[in-house]
Amino acid sequence: MKINERRVMTSDAATSFELGSTKATPESAAFLAAVSPESRGAPESGIAELFNYGRGRQGLIPLWVGEGDLAAPSFVAEAAARSLSRGETFYSFQGGVPELREAICRYMSRHYGAPYEATNGPFTADRFSVTTGGIHALQIAVRLTCGQGDEVIVPTPAWPNFQGVVAIAGAVPVEVPMQLEGAGTADAAWTLDIARIEAAITPRTRALIINSPTNPTGWSASVDELRALRDLARHRGLWIIADEIYGRIVYDGARAPSFHDVIEADDRVIFIHTLSKNWAMTGLRLGWIEAPPALGPTIANLIQYSTSGVAVPLQRGAAAALEYGEPFIARQLERFRRSRDILCQGLAATGKVHFARPTAAFYVFAAFAGRPDTRALAFTLVEEANVGVAPGSAFGQGGQTYVRLCFARDPNQVADATQRLVRWVETALT
């Protein structure tokens, strides 16, 4: 695909709009031809396209990006500010300051039950390295497990960054679409067919990326499904890259089932974690990767050659979030639940919007009857309902006919957005 083909939109609402400031000229084409094919070919995020188009519109309610409207708790900012005032402005440990790694150990022991200890036993602080958000943890996990031409299986619909990161590493993302069973009924649910994953494995497959709970569908794997995936990976000698960043954002129980419930210390599983969602720290860019301790020095090297570590004041803020942030998570969950119920009830009552009610994460992935071109639909909803949604085409195979709505916002605002959408559905979808 040529660059200007990717950049010019086709919907009526956007015929004259071009994303970003770069126009494809002979000069820019020459520069692009001179850079690596992996970077040149990196897919453009369909979410960013909408976001760039509609942000700044008066009164628009943004449900497109995966973040909430609360700032990080003040004690996080205070811990970071104290660290800055103390002059913690130097290079530090590549894998994170020991205090944060130990705080991660304690947090994981509290919530995931593994016998994490700072220094003893099979699960020690050596398993954890601090990263610049979940995306950096993902980049490291992909670098560790695959190279040029290798294949990585990604069940879809999926967070688009999985495919993007794999492709930039020169590897090939292999999408395995999930199914929506019972579409249009109150019991609709996404399902993962593990036999289809197995069928997608080739001699070049190196890893499975399993995101549970899932962005964008809210699907969560059961313990049995996790066990089956673990067995498949063991049997075929594959890595599992387990993205469980939404594991605490569940509407039943304390957390979602986790690979931690089914693995042994020697299983080849790498976990992606982030502070972005649980503690509303998206802009602070803090996460961690969990991997077998033998990989610690290799991960430290990869951090050295990418970011050289996370700013120490932010790590102090992260340690405070892990130690004192439970009431904040509870408050967020309460808001998410109310917002989810408002949005789901409103959309379902129209009879023209179909989705699986999410039991985890903070997204509704919905199909609007008779509007399968969801890129066009998303532009139309900006123009006619003043609501920002993410087009399903961004989420890979099986997602094209849906839009993603993030309800991690003030329930009153979500109620307002729901009313606007319902009004639009009632007038536009006859």
Ligand X SMILES: Cc1ncc(COP(=O)(O)O)c(C=O)c1O
Residues that bind ligand X (CB under 6 A): 66, 133-135, 159, 211, 215, 243, 245, 272, 274, 276, 282, 287
Kindly state the smallest distance separating residue 162's Cβ from ligand X, in Å. 8
Read out DSSP for 44-60?
Answer: PPHHHHHHHHHTT-TT-
Integer Cα distance of 201 and 204 in angstroms: 8
Of the pair 94, 214, the CB lying nearest ligand X is at 214
E strands, 24-150, where?
A: 61-62, 128-131
Of the pair 289, 417, the CB lying nearest ligand X is at 289
Integer Cα distance of 340 and 375 in angstroms: 23
Of the pair 279, 424, the CB lying nearest ligand X is at 279
Kindly state the smallest distance separating residue 110's Cβ from ligand X, in Å. 21
Of the pair 134, 313, the CB lying nearest ligand X is at 134
- Give 283: exposed, middle or buried? Use CB within 10 Å, 0-12, 13-18, 19+: exposed
Kindly state the smallest distance separating residue 212's Cβ from ligand X, in Å. 9
Closest by Cα among 124, 129, 132 to 93: 129
Kindly state the smallest distance separating residue 213's Cβ from ligand X, in Å. 9
Of the pair 123, 362, the CB lying nearest ligand X is at 362
Kindly state the smallest distance separating residue 134's Cβ from ligand X, in Å. 3
Question: What are residue 354's DSSP bridge partners?
Answer: 367
Of the pair 245, 366, the CB lying nearest ligand X is at 245
DSSP at 250: B
Name residue, tokens 């709505």: 405
Kindly state the smallest distance separating residue 66's Cβ from ligand X, in Å. 4
Integer Cα distance of 430 and 125 in angstroms: 58
Single-letter residue type at 244: E
